[in-house]
Amino acid sequence: MKERDPVRQRELLDRSLRQTAKEEDGNLLVQTYQDVAPHLEYAAKCRRADAEHRGAFGKRGELRRTMTLPMATILQVAQKLGIPAGQVFAAENSKRIMKELKSSEYKALRTTIDKNI
């Protein structure tokens, strides 16, 4: 039987989405945590590769990834827009969230060098 590496497990858990909840003054407070550094590093690598592997005249295929989005960031934007966490993936709410995520405030999560995504 293979023994599990506790350091590796801790690293994986640190990168996953974590939520804690507590009651305070009759209100339920939910705190969300996720290490987004791996997402930022991945997006930066993709932008470099995108810039290096463009075809003639800057052309490339039609289907391509434009962003890498940690769940904590999606939930943060939803909260900012007043969208309940349980309705994040409803069609109309998803459009509103994506419109906000395409703003320059979240450009570090882009995986392409294109300005207009």
Q: What is the pLDDT of residues 6-20, one digit of tens each?
A: 666 556 555 667 778
Read off the pTM: 0.62
Average pLDDT for 40-63:
76
In angstroms, the CA 11 to CA 42 distance is 17
In angstroms, the CA 117 to CA 114 distance is 6
State the pLDDT confidence band at 1, using cuts at 50, 70 and 90. Answer: very low
Find all residues with CB under 8 Å of 25, minimum gap 6, and list them: none
Q: Please list the alpha-helical segments (H only) found in the chain.
A: 6-15, 37-52, 71-81, 91-101
Average pLDDT for 76-105:
93
